[in-house]
Chain A
Amino acid sequence: MSLVETLAIAMAMTFTLVIYSFLWRENRAYRLAEHIFIGSGVGFGIMFAIEYVYTNAIKPMGETIAAGLTLYNTGYLFGKYILPMFLGVLLYFFFSRRYLWIYRIPMAIFVGIGLGLAMSGAAQTQLVKQILDTMLDLIYPLIEGNWIEFINALIIFIGVTGTLAYFFFTTERGSVRTWGVIGRWTMMVAFGAAFGYTVMARVSLLIGRVHDMIVNWKITSTLFIIGVILAILSYSLFKGEGKT
């Protein structure tokens, strides 16, 4: 392993432990790591965006101009590069109070295109087909005589309609409200499952960091860093820094 790679791993491990030190109490080391993380993320994004604009817009635009400007070329240049870049530049008027309205023009175009694209697909996949399948899954197994599938579909059907009834606020009592109780229980089960998965995801992140520490680094080095962090924390504790 090269010196640069070793240094990179050491930095990664140190930052991991420094970030986890927040669980003990907030401290300056944690805040420093947090700022470095955000800063490097933004820096990476800006670097990539500039490179992208150069490779996919400025460079080919220069090549097109160098090849000679015909009527077709000029239209192509304007439609493919100049207009989108111009709209992009208008977004920077967000920072001007006086000319904020200019920023709204490209924003309206982007939101309009995005919404138009998303709406047709979303209505199809996330609404119409989901409703249809909730009903059809109940009917087909019944025709086929597949009772296990039918019971499964029935539970889903009861859960879906119950949840919808729970959010039906126009009646205060009656069968809709009673049906809504089933919906409340269904939601509780769903939230429980989601909570379980969330715990799993968070623990996975910790597992990944610990695994990296063990694989990439000798455990003794890890313990050494833990010792250093604890020493810094103890110092900050005695100095009365940070409040939990």
Chain B
Amino acid sequence: MAAEIQIEWSRRILYILVFAAVIFPLVMGWEMSMKVSPHTKGLYDAIEKLEPGDVVILSFDYDASTYVEQFPQSVAIWEHLRRKDARIIAVAFWLQGVPWIENTIREVYGLNKTEPVDELPDYGKKFVNIGWIPGGEVGMARLGENVAGIKEQDNYGNMLKDMPIFEGVKDAHDVKLIVSFSSGTPGAEELLRQIGVPYNVTMGTAVTAVSAPGFYPYYPKYFVGILGGLRGAAEYELLVERKGLGMAGMVAQSFVHGLIIIFIVIGNIQYLLERRRQEEERRRESGGA
């Protein structure tokens, strides 16, 4: 019983320490220097190579449960595309990805919650929010076949056929780059096999840290760049010189990682000591017998 209570309280103390390790650097507003990984640089370079007016599809396949990692990624990439004067077609194959398209636009263009997105002067010319495309992988295949005609209306009820952004855009052959903000299925892998490979379109992806190791085999042949989690977002923010949540969270991230390493070392020492104690006990018992 005493051991159970001890474990219970040890667990709680660990959580309190982790919480403190997160809150302290964020309150203090500390920053740290970091190196940009080749995976992040690859995507940055691909966007740098774009010409003004090139068509880019951004696929928002995440929801609120991973927004902390993927919203800063979306904002940094959209900002970069805006500076390059690319034509951005935003879609979501996840139903709950739609609000994150809108949140990203509001963040990049500095709109508040009440200002309508589709009344921005660039809307329909430089970017469009098509909204949700149902059907998962089937929807992706349809988007590849007919980018401009995938839906009749955008997310706000405006007719897509009247928008100048779709001038000269028929199918995915007319798209220069696809970036998938992917946190599951359907996501980047499905887009790669439905549009990326069949239409030979350059693809990049921004994924959660959990799924990042699964995407590295695709780099650089299939995905020219991969942003992995909050770290990827921070690196991209550094490249486009737009400070956001990614960079703000890096010190806290490092603090917690350090703390967890200490926990692992302590846990292992405790395990070894316990094992030695048990062995000694067993030896004493067998010696006594």
Contact = CB atoms under 8 A, between A and B. Distances in A.
Given A55-B153, A56-B152, A190-B213, A200 B221 contact: no
B95 A48 contact: yes
Identify the 10 closest CB pairs spanning chains A and B, nearest first. A121-B193, A208-B68, A201-B209, A207-B249, A204-B230, A200-B209, A201-B210, A197-B209, A203-B256, A23-B15
B227 interface: no
B12 A211 contact: no
B257 A200 contact: yes
Given A198-B210, A204-B249, 6 more contacts: A125-B189, A125-B222, A206-B22, A207-B253, A209-B68, A211-B245
Interface stretch (A69-77, A92-100, A111-119, A172-180): A111-119
Interface in B172-229: 189-190, 192-194, 196-198, 208-210, 212-213, 217-218, 221-222, 228-229
B252 interface: yes
A38 interface: no
B141 A23 contact: no
Nearest to B71: A208
Contacts of B134: 52
B137 interface: yes
B149 interface: no
Given A55-B153, A207-B252, A211-B249, A200 B231 contact: yes
Interface in B248-285: 248-249, 252-253, 256-257, 260
Nearest to B217: A130
A219 B221 CA distance: 47
Contacts of A201: 66, 69, 208-210, 229
A210 B213 CA distance: 26
Given A113-B138, A193-B213, A197-B229, A5 B113 contact: yes
Contacts of A126: 189, 193
A210 B217 CA distance: 33
Nearest to B192: A125
A207 B132 CA distance: 29
A49 interface: yes
B19 interface: yes
A228 interface: no
Interface residues of A, number: 45
Q: Interface residue tally of chain B, by bracket?
A: 35 or more
Interface of A: 5, 23-24, 41, 44-45, 48-49, 52, 55-56, 60, 113-114, 117-118, 120-122, 124-126, 129-130, 133, 190, 193-194, 197-201, 203-211, 214, 219, 244
Contacts of A207: 22, 26, 68, 230, 245, 249, 252-253
Contact of B138 (A114, A125, A129, A133): A114
Nearest to B221: A133
Interface string B112-150: 010000000000000000001010111001000000000
A199 B217 CA distance: 21
Interface of B: 8, 12, 15, 18-19, 22-23, 26-27, 65-69, 95-96, 98, 113, 132, 134, 136-138, 141, 151-153, 157, 189-190, 192-194, 196-198, 208-210, 212-213, 217-218, 221-222, 228-231, 245, 248-249, 252-253, 256-257, 260
A219 B23 CA distance: 10
B192 A117 contact: no
Nearest to A8: B113
B223 to A, nearest CB: 11
B210 A219 contact: no
A124 B197 contact: yes
B84 to A, nearest CB: 27
Contacts of B253: 200, 203-204, 207
B209 A211 contact: no
A208 B72 CA distance: 10
Contacts of B228: 197
Contacts of A24: 12, 15
A214 B231 contact: no
A244 B80 CA distance: 47
Contacts of A219: 27
A74 B31 CA distance: 64
Nearest to B214: A194
Contacts of A45: 95-96
